[in-house]
Structure 1
Amino acid sequence: MTIQWHEIHAAPSMSGLYAKAATRRKITGTTLPDVGLRQVIQVDQQRLAAYRKVCGFTENGLLPPTYPHVLAFALQMQLLTDRNFPFPLLGLIHLSNRIRILRPMGGVSQVRASVNVENLQPHAKGAVFDLVTRIEDQLGPLWQAESQMLCKGVQLDGALVEEPAIAALELTEVGHWTAPADIGRQYAKVSGDYNPIHLSAASARLFGFPTAIAHGLWNKARTLAALDDHLPEANIEIEMNFRKPVRLPSEVTLLASAAGSSGKLRLVGAGELEHMLGSWQPVA
């Protein structure tokens, strides 16, 4: 697919984007748009500091490995609420997320972000596609990510995407923390992601959840903060498969391989409820 890139020169109105998301509830097609969005974005140091605090990252001079998602979030919203995008944003389910840190992310004050969607495939529960995000600095490609998203109710021809088989893991406990009842609201303030399923029990129930659930990307960020001494700063690919949601409030336990260039991890709750499975390895 050839992507038609559009340059964005001004920050969109987030309230306007959320209004568009709230009023679009129908599937309008089965073809992804070939349009991508690009924008030069400044790194706000106050917002970055607040993000570090909410997610547990220390101040080490580097952008946290998940922070580029925050930098590109408004662009992602703009793309996924465009009238040419066929699926309603509210109701999309984040199945997995893979990031690649190509170089150390230190001294970054301005980036060029780009987002597009691709790789639409049938799934047992509907259809999945990849939301692709790339970050460049003055030296070139710095970071990239693919988030696999599920839209229920879409019918496509072709072989179904199957969930990856996960081998039994020999892991050691490396962390334990509480996801407090208000972490969805805390994370929304620093990320811009005000999806109602994360904010309160009342708003989550409107979408079929008995209580609010933690953002998947907060779970990933909090996990990577706990693994800061485990992982290389760059030339690393980190993938997470989101399993059962973390209902708020909850206590969770992180198990992981030994520190090194590659390894695996598992985030579990009470009764060994599996919330997240992940791995890291050098960039191929």
Structure 2
Amino acid sequence: MVAVVELSAGPGTTAAYARAALGMVPGFGRSGDTLPDVEVRRRGVTVDRAHLAAYDRVCGFRLTDTLPATYPHVLAFPLAMRLMTAPDFPLPLIGLVHVTNRITVHRPIPSGAALDLSVRAADLRAHPRGRQFDIVATATLDGAEVWRGLSTYLRLGPPRADDPAPPARPAADDGAEADDGTGAGGVWRVLARVGADYAAVSGDRNPIHTSWLGARLFGFPRPIAHGMWSKAHALAALEGRLPDAYTVDVAFRKPLLLPARATFTTTATATGWSFALVSRGPHLTGTIT
């Protein structure tokens, strides 16, 4: 039976990262080999217009009366952090790699809406490079689901023998396609401050995005851009071309070291769009249907 944790206020992510650091200490938490059967909920979440404006500015969206497709991910992120830093969560937060993200927008969400949010973890399974699982987040308005996000995270290391094999699932396109003139491609010049700026508006303060020392501790020569910033910036490039309801699937590939210069390409397809962000290799590939 699913245990429901009902929150009356948004949990802070700073405290969650402190718990995550404790989770790296041997003997602290990290008990069990199954995901907790828990759903974290928060009802009646409203948007701070100043925060939305700051998010739009960092990601490149125009300020409108509807939420960007990636904004509910930011609203739900503190709930996901609460779940993933609980002592009974089997994998430590620090070191997780966000490998794919799928967002489905069922209909436009007014910026003044009061949303009910829920987050749960699902499908712990084997991966050739370790173990992976999904964080499923939903937003409902007046009792109807209007948005759903599925983030897949990878914990590097040897897979457990008793983990189920990864199921077959649709994947984002693996390669970059040339811009055929129907897309919204161009060269991105990504400033070094993007990591800190996006951390401030998203609450995702993972030091690999904001600190040279933190990045080096995890094997990066300098801070890297958030994958969700790259996804948001890609959707911002396609503003005005997308339908009211769609699904956008992305795979986060080679880290984008900051500062950066990369080429964004898009191609119209029979069902929507495909896109990629590439420099010496693909950083982000995705599809919109």
TM-score, structure 2 length as denominator?
A: 0.89
- Conserved in 1, the CA contact under 8 Å of 2:208 and 2:215? yes
- Conserved in 2, the CA contact under 8 Å of 1:98 and 1:147? yes
Matched residues in 2 for 1:17 and 1:127: separation? 22
- 1:159 is aligned to 2:159: no
State the SS of the aligned residue for 1:218.
helix
Deviation at 1:231, TM superposition (A): 1.6
Please tell me the root mean square deviation across aligned C-alpha atoms, in Å.
2.1
Give the corresponding residue for 1:8: 7
Cα offsets for 1:140-199 (capped at 9, x unmatched): 211001001101224243435689584666441612211111111000111111000000
Give the corresponding residue for 1:85: 89
Matched residues in 2 for 1:174 and 1:237: separation? 20
The one-letter code of the counterpart of 1:132 is: V
Deviation at 1:101, TM superposition (A): 0.1
Judged with a 3 Å threshold, the aligned counterparts in structure 2 of structure 1 residues 168 and 179 are, in CA distance, closer, same or farther, namely closer
Determine which of 70, 74, 92 is the counterpart of 1:70. 74
Give the corresponding residue for 2:259: 249
Aligned residues: 277
Matched residues in 1 for 2:172 and 2:211: separation? 33
State the SS of the aligned residue for 1:212.
coil
Give the corresponding residue for 2:221: 210
The one-letter code of the counterpart of 1:196 is: P
Judged with a 3 Å threshold, the aligned counterparts in structure 2 of structure 1 residues 33 and 156 are, in CA distance, closer, same or farther, namely farther
Give the corresponding residue for 2:127: 123
- Conserved in 2, the CA contact under 8 Å of 1:230 and 1:258? no
- 1:39 is aligned to 2:39: no
- 1:199 is aligned to 2:207: no
Matched residues in 2 for 1:166 and 1:87: separation? 29
Give the corresponding residue for 2:64: 60
Judged with a 3 Å threshold, the aligned counterparts in structure 2 of structure 1 residues 263 and 13 are, in CA distance, closer, same or farther, namely closer
Judged with a 3 Å threshold, the aligned counterparts in structure 2 of structure 1 residues 62 and 13 are, in CA distance, closer, same or farther, namely closer
- Conserved in 2, the CA contact under 8 Å of 1:121 and 1:156? no
- 1:174 is aligned to 2:192: no
Taking the TM superposition and a 5 Å limit, the aligned residue runs for 1:103-118 are: 103-118=107-122
Cα offsets for 1:57-110 (capped at 9, x unmatched): 001211011000111111111001011111110100001000000011124332
**More displaced 10-residue stretch of structure 1: 206-215 or 50-59:** 206-215
Judged with a 3 Å threshold, the aligned counterparts in structure 2 of structure 1 residues 22 and 138 are, in CA distance, closer, same or farther, namely same
The one-letter code of the counterpart of 1:24 is: G
Matched residues in 2 for 1:258 and 1:148: separation? 26
Deviation at 1:139, TM superposition (A): 5.0
Deviation at 1:280, TM superposition (A): 0.9
Q: Which runs of 4+ in 1 moved over 6 A?
A: none
Determine which of 263, 269, 274 is the counterpart of 1:264. 274
Determine which of 233, 240, 246 is the counterpart of 1:236. 246
- 1:279 is aligned to 2:287: yes
Q: Indicate the percent of aligned positions where both proteins have the same amino acid.
A: 41
Matched residues in 2 for 1:24 and 1:280: separation? 37
Judged with a 3 Å threshold, the aligned counterparts in structure 2 of structure 1 residues 114 and 210 are, in CA distance, closer, same or farther, namely same
State the SS of the aligned residue for 1:253.
strand
Unpaired runs of at least 5, structure 1: none
Cα offsets for 1:203-247 (capped at 9, x unmatched): 211222111000000000011001113321x22000001110100
Matched residues in 2 for 1:147 and 1:69: separation? 9
Matched residues in 1 for 2:176 and 2:212: separation? 34
Unpaired runs of at least 5, structure 2: none
